[in-house]
């Protein structure tokens, strides 16, 4: 969800729930926890005073980047376990894997 806010900017809870495929009450609970931890803020939607927009905070962005860096380091460590031919095979497979990933995200 933090990545959705980073990439898409401030969003309504209903939009976040739809993009994460969860019920709106579930997203409301999650947003409350993330807000309590200082990772997101809720502000009135200027287009509709009845709604709120959820925004990523600087702390949320830093946490997201930390997660990304830790994941990249873990993947790099696992890739080092492969021999050069196996790493080349992965590189060759990347276009097909990217095509599959685009299909899943759509």
Question: What is the extent of the structural domain holding 84?
Answer: 1-106
Taking alpha carbons only, the member of 69, 65, 68 closest to residue 39 is 65
List the chain pLDDT tens, one digit each, 106 residues.
999 999 999 999 999 999 999 999 999 999 999 999 999 999 999 988 889 999 999 999 999 999 999 999 999 999 999 999 999 999 999 999 999 988 765 5
Q: Structurally, how many domains does the chain consist of?
A: 1
| Contact present, 13 and 31 (Cβ < 8 Å) | yes
List the structure tokens of 76: 């790099």
Q: How far is CA 97 from each of CA 72, 73, 90, rounded to the nearest angstrom?
A: 17, 20, 9
């Amino acid at each position: 969800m933090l990545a959705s806010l980073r990439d898409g900017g401030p969003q309504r809870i209903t939009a976040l729930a739809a993009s994460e495929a969860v019920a709106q009450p579930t997203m409301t609970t999650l947003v409350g926890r993330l807000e309590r931890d200082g990772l997101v803020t809720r502000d009135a939607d200027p287009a509709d005073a009845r709604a709120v927009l959820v925004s990523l905070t600087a702390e949320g962005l830093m946490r997201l980047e930390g997660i990304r860096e830790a994941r990249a380091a873990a993947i790099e460590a696992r890739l080092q376990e492969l021999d050069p031919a196996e790493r080349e095979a992965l590189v060759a497979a990347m276009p097909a894997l990217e095509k599959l990933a685009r299909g899943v995200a759509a």
